Structure formats: C-alpha cells, structure tokens
Amino acid sequence: MLQGRVVNERKRDHEYRQQLYTIQSEIKGAHTIPLVAPNRRFTRSAKFRLHIFIEPQHRGEGDDDEGEDRTQHSQYTSSPKVRRFEPDVVYHYYLFSDMIVECTAVMDGDITLKRTYRLTNRVLAASLTPNRCLRVVHENGVIYLQGGAMDMVNWMNDINRRLYS
C-alpha cells in the first residue's frame, strides 16, 4: 500500500514538472526565472488589466534628504512609488504556488515575460476592493488587477489558500 502511494506521488510530481516545462516553453524569457523548481505548482492562468502597481521606493530614487546619515534609515523611503496603467492593456497572468508571472502578448501570438511577483513573504490576504479590483500583496509591493468577476474570486481564493494550508 505504501509503495503504491509513493509511485502515485512520484507520477504526480512528474506531471507537475511536465506542466511547468510546457508553460516555460510557451513564455519567451521564462527560462530566466526558471519556472521549473522544487515544490512549485501551477494553479491557474487568466487575463487581467493591471490597474495599479505599488512598490517601495528605494532610497536615492528621488529623495531629497541629502547629508542625512542613511545608516539609521531603512533602505526604503516612507512614500511608495505608485504607477497607474492604461486601462485597455491586458496582460496574461499565471498563478503558481509561490509567485505570479505577468506576461504580454504581441500580435503574432508570442507571450513574453514582463515581471514576476513573489508570494513567498505575503502577510496579507488577497482581497476584492470596492471598485472591483483584485488586490494582491506580494514580496515587493501591491498590485491591483481588473478582470472577470469569477476569475478574480478564484484567484483570490487560491492565493489565500496558501495562508491557511
């Protein structure tokens, strides 16, 4: 009985790895991540509009506290960098067990890696905002995504499941 369970587990791991290799081969630039990693699982994909991207602003990026002793301060300023995006631009997103991959699609159908959001250090649950955005806190900031209602609910549930499992 135990031997059968081990065989099934190895088969499942092989299938997960094959799925990651397939996704990695479909995304130009994904080999730089790489997507295939131990314990990484693909969860789902969807197309969303990136509404707002918030990231901490590193010291030296526009601060004016010249002459201050920076050894006493954090590497980040207190004011984050907020970027708003064109509402008509749709990105392809892939949700994995430990990260989100954002891709662009060009006219010839090629999907190209744009950026990754690591979910390894999340402390806040993903949520739906009153203005119908999916809010995801990742390792280096916050993203607000807009898309289909069911896609956003499914993504929120899958991301939050990581907090409680």
Domain range enclosing 110: 38-62+74-164
Q: Model pTM? A: 0.79
Number of domains in the chain: 1
Is residue 67 in some structural domain? no
Q: Tens digit of pLDDT for each residue in 91-140?
A: 999 999 989 999 998 777 889 999 998 887 666 889 999 989 999 988 77
140, 135, 82: which is closest to 115 by C-alpha? 140
Please state the rounded mean pLDDT for residues 77-98.
77
Residue 89 pLDDT > 90:
no
CATH code, 155 = 2.30.29.30
> Does residue 159 form part of some domain?
yes
Q: Does residue 5 belong to any structural domain of this protein?
A: no
3-state secondary structure of 104: strand
Cβ-count burial of 49 within 10 angstroms (0-12 exposed, 13-18 middle, 19+ buried)?
A: middle
